[in-house]
A and B are shown apart, each in its own frame.
Chain A
Amino acid sequence: MAIGAKRVPAQEASRRGASSEEAALGAAAPLLEIEGLRVSFLQYGRGLQRRTVQALAGVDLSVGAGELVALVGSSGSGKSLLAHAVMGLLPDNARSSGSIRYAGEPLDGERLLRLRGKELALVPQGVTYLDPLLRAGEQALGRQRGPQARSRLRAVFSRFGLPERAERLYPHQLSGGMARKVLVSAAALGGARLVVADEPTPGMEAGKAAEALQALRELADGGCGVLLLTHDIEAALRVADRVAVLYAGEAVELAAASDFAGAGERLRHPYTRALWQALPANGFRPLPGVQPAPEEAAASCAFAARCGQAAPECRAAKPAMRVWRGGQVRCFKPD
C-alpha cells in the first residue's frame, strides 16, 4: 500500500543519521511515553441531538528525565485535554484511547492515583487553582510540616526567585508571575519527577513570562521531566529541548528546539515551517485557510488543503508519524 511504500526513504534516513536521532527522539528510557493518544467528547447539540467531537486525533511524544519538551498548538487545539488525560482528570463525557506510560509502565487506575500529586504534578493553566485562603508557603508545602520542610521551602522559593515575604502572602496578593512560581514550587516540593505545565504564560509581559518559564527550566535541570503546553512557540523555544507541533489534533512534527532557526530549513513539516515563518520577527507571512476539525481530516493529511506541496496521495490517506532527519514527522513528502 501507498503508506508502506513511502516508509522506505524514512528508514534510509534513519540509518544515515542514527546518532543525532537518539538525541532528537528523546532519552533511552523516557519518563513519559504517549502513543496514539485520542480524546473525544460526547456533546449535546440542539435538543437531544448528540454528537462526538474529536479533540485529539493522534498524539505521540515522549519526555525524558531532565528534559523539557514543549507541545505547541493553537488555542482550542486540545492541549489542556492532553494534560488532563495524562493526569487522569478528563471529564466524564470524554473518551480517550492510545497509550500513556510512565517510567515504562501504563499510567492508569490505582497507579495513577498513587503517583498523582507526588511524582506526577500538574501546573495548571489558571492561577485560580491556588486556594485563596492559604498563604503561598503553606500552599507550596502541601501536607509537609516542620522546620525541615520550612527550610526546603525557603530553598525552593529562592531558587525560583521568590522573595522570603512571598511565603506569607495570600494568592490575591501575588502577581501573576509569582503565583505561577508558587505553583511550580509546589510541584518541586512535592518531589515531582514529571511536571506537566499548561499554558503558564499568557497575558504576562515578556519579563514575567521569561521568569515563569525559567522556573520550569530549573525543574528540568534538576532532573525532572517537564512537558510544557503552550500556543506561544517563541516562549517554548526559549526553554525547550524538543518541540512537538500540534495541528488539527495531531502531532505533526517532533523537532529539536535548535531546528527552529533561519528560514526553517531544518524543519520537517510544511506546517511547522509556515508557523515559524509567520512569527512577527521572521517575515509575518500568513497562510490562507484554517485548521480543520480533526473529524474533517480523518482520512487525509490534515494540512493537505493548505500545503503547497500536497500530492493526490495526501488527500487520499493519512500519513503516519515517522522518523525523519533526526526528528519525527507526519508527512508523505517531508523535506
Chain B
Amino acid sequence: MLEVDKVGIHLGGRWLLRDMSLTLEAGEVVGISGDSGVGKSTLARMLAGHLAPDEGEVRYGGRPAARRGPHPAQLVLQHPERAVNPRWRIRRILAEAGAPEPSLLEALQIAPSWLDRWPLELSGGELQRVCIARALGPATRVLIADEMTAMLDALTQAGIWRAALGVAQERGLGVLAISHDEALLERICTRRLRWEELRGDATTVMMP
C-alpha cells in the first residue's frame, strides 16, 4: 500500500530527515510518536505529496504517485481552520475533492445543513469532520492524521476517530497516525512505531 524507501529531505544545507523507511499495509493503523521537532510533520507532508523527497522514494501500491489527479495519500492536520478557505462555503470546500458520497457524509456525521455554512460557523470538531471527508475521496488509499484531534476535547476526539476508522476499515485504507498522545495511539493503532525505528541512520548529517 505505502512503501517509504530511505527517503531524505534537506533545507538550507541541512537534512531535515534522512534514511527514513516505513511500510504500511492496507487496513493497518500505524501510530508514530516521537519528540517535538524531529520531523514527524515534515515526513507527513512528504508522504502526502506536499513536499518532494530529495533522496529515496515513496511508492503507493508499488509505484510513485501520479503527477496528475488526486494524490493517493491525504493529510489531515491539527488545525482545520487553517486547512480550508474561509471564504468558501462547506459545499465548495468538500467539492474540491470531487462530489462527496452521501454515505461518506453520513458515516462522518456531517449534517446536510452544514453544507451551506461558512467555515467560521462550524466548531473545530465539525470542521475537522469536513476536512476528513475531503481527504477521503474515492482515490485515497492512505489517510495521514498529523495530530488530527490534539486540539479537540475527549468526546469530540472519540467521535471523530471512530468515524474515520470506520470508513478506513470499510474501504481497506491504510492509516498513519502521528500523535503525542500515547493513550490515543494505544487505543486506535494496530501497530506502533517510535520515530527512531524509522531511521536507518540516526545522525543528522551536515551537507558539505
Q: Is A131 an interface residue (CB 8 A)?
A: no
- Segment of B7-15, B92-100, B122-130, B137-145 engaged in the interface with chain A: B122-130
Whether A284 touches B35, Cβ cut-off 8 Å, given contacts A203-B150, A231-B151, A234-B183, is no
Tell me the minimal C-beta distance from A164 to chain B in angstroms: 23
List the A residue with the shortest CB-CB distance to B186.
Answer: A280
Tell me the minimal C-beta distance from A140 to chain B in angstroms: 22
Q: Is A159 an interface residue (CB 8 A)?
A: no
Docked pose: A286 CA to B159 CA in angstroms: 5
Whether A74 touches B36, Cβ cut-off 8 Å, given contacts A278-B158, A284-B161, is no
Interface pair B109/A288, CB less than 8 Å apart: yes
- Segment of A5-13, A28-36, A204-212 engaged in the interface with chain B: A204-212
Q: Is B3 an interface residue (CB 8 A)?
A: no
Within 8 A of A (CB), among B71-124: 78, 109, 123-124
Number of A interface residues, CB 8 Å? 30
Question: Quick one: CB contact mask for B155-175 with A, threshold 8 Å, 1 for yes?
Answer: 111110110000000000000
List the B residue with the shortest CB-CB distance to A285.
Answer: B158
Number of B interface residues, CB 8 Å? 32
Q: Is B180 an interface residue (CB 8 A)?
A: yes
List the A residue with the shortest CB-CB distance to B188.
Answer: A280
Q: Is A287 an interface residue (CB 8 A)?
A: yes
Q: Is B57 an interface residue (CB 8 A)?
A: no
Interface pair A204/B158, CB less than 8 Å apart: no
* CB-based A-B contact count at 8 angstroms: 83
Q: Is A281 an interface residue (CB 8 A)?
A: yes
Contacts of A278 in B (CB 8 A): 153-155, 157-158
Q: Is B46 an interface residue (CB 8 A)?
A: no
Whether A75 touches B152, Cβ cut-off 8 Å, given contacts A203-B180, A204-B180, A280-B187, is yes
Docked pose: A288 CA to B156 CA in angstroms: 9
Question: Quick one: CB contact mask for B31-42 with A, threshold 8 Å, 1 for yes?
Answer: 001111100000
Docked pose: A76 CA to B156 CA in angstroms: 13
Within 8 A of A (CB), among B17-58: 33-37
Please list the residues of chain B having a beta carbon within 8 angstroms of any beta carbon in chain A: 33-37, 78, 109, 123-126, 147, 150-159, 161-162, 180-184, 186-188
Can you give 9 A-B contacts (C-beta < 8 A)?
Answer: A74-B152, A75-B153, A205-B34, A206-B180, A233-B154, A280-B183, A284-B162, A290-B125, A290-B156
Please list the residues of chain A having a beta carbon within 8 angstroms of any beta carbon in chain B: 73-76, 175-176, 202-206, 208-209, 231, 233-234, 274-276, 278-281, 284-288, 290-291
The 4 residue pairs across chains A and B that have the minimum distance between CB atoms: A286-B159, A74-B153, A280-B187, A280-B183
